[in-house]
């Protein structure tokens, strides 16, 4: 994938990775290595100039409707309540758009159940400015899941939060993944986050990005936060840090 025409920036090249259905994968690497480009290629927001992308057995040639996305900035619409923000994808995704008016009560009940799952029961009628950053990100996760995506793409979703809130939300997304068959791909700079949440971790090279290594996380699920104090956990984090440092120098 190259930006800016034939002489422009080559963002990713020779990038090859595979994530099985239901898995939780993390992608880490140096800044500017093409992690966000990878997100856009998988979701169909960009189409590669060479090579192929497949999601759920189909080649990606347009934006993929079975994907949910959550970013570092929740970008909730300030004039809509939390509940109405969560329901927004249902107004866009074709499968649900035609059913929304007739089955509004069912969808509202589902949204309220998601809010309860992430610890926001009773906050559906609040506006974004009435929620903390961590609460907005919880609602953002609900919005990404409301249309029952088969694939959830997370782009640094917890990066702007304080350490305590971030760890709380790690547990939320851990439990959401355990309770469903959704496939999750997490792009993150936080190596502890990657090792705590993921089943497999892909390490990208410096630009143009490609996969340098794939690691399988050996820690049994469900994982508690206490696993981060175990020597094997920290050894894996340090190993990833060394690989990324070498990739940065090699650039």
Q: What is the pTM of this model?
A: 0.87
Token representation of residue 175: 């439990």
- In Å, how far from its chain's centre is CA 18? 16
Q: 2-66+150-250 — its CATH code? A: 3.40.50.300
Please report which helix (H) or strand (E) contains residue 67, including its range.
strand 67-71
Instruction: Name which of 229, 175, 230, 226 is nearest 197 in CA terms.
Output: 175
Residue 187 has pLDDT above 80, yes or no: yes
Residue 94 has pLDDT above 70, yes or no: no
Average pLDDT over residues 166-178: 88
When the pLDDT of each residue in the chain is averaged and rounded to a whole number, the result is 89
Listed in order, the ranges of the chain carrying CATH 3.40.50.300 are: 2-66+150-250
């Amino acid at each position: 994938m190259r930006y800016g025409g034939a002489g422009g920036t080559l963002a990713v090249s020779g990038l090859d990775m595979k994530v099985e259905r239901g898995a939780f994968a993390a992608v880490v690497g140096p800044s500017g290595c093409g992690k966000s480009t990878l997100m856009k290629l998988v979701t169909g927001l960009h189409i590669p100039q060479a090579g192929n992308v497949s999601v759920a057995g189909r080649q990606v040639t347009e934006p993929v409707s079975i994907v949910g996305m959550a970013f570092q900035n929740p970008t909730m619409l300030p004039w809509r309540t939390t509940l109405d923000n969560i329901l927004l994808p249902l107004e866009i995704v074709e499968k649900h758009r035609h059913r929304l008016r007739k089955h509004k009560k069912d969808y509202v009940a589902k949204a309220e159940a998601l809010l309860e799952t992430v610890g926001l029961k009773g906050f559906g009628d609040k506006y974004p400015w009435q929620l903390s950053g961590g609460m907005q990100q919880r609602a953002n996760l609900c919005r990404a899941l409301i249309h029952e995506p088969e694939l959830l793409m997370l782009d640094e979703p917890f990066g702007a939060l304080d350490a305590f809130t971030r760890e709380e939300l790690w547990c939320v997304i851990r439990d959401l993944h355990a309770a469903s068959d959704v496939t999750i791909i997490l792009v993150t700079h936080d190596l502890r986050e990657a090792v705590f949440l993921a089943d497999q971790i892909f390490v990208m090279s410096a630009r143009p990005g490609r996969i340098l290594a794939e690691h399988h996380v050996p820690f049994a699920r469900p994982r508690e936060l206490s696993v981060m104090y175990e020597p094997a956990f920290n050894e894996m984090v340090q190993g990833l840090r060394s690989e990324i440092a070498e990739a940065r120098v090699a650039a």
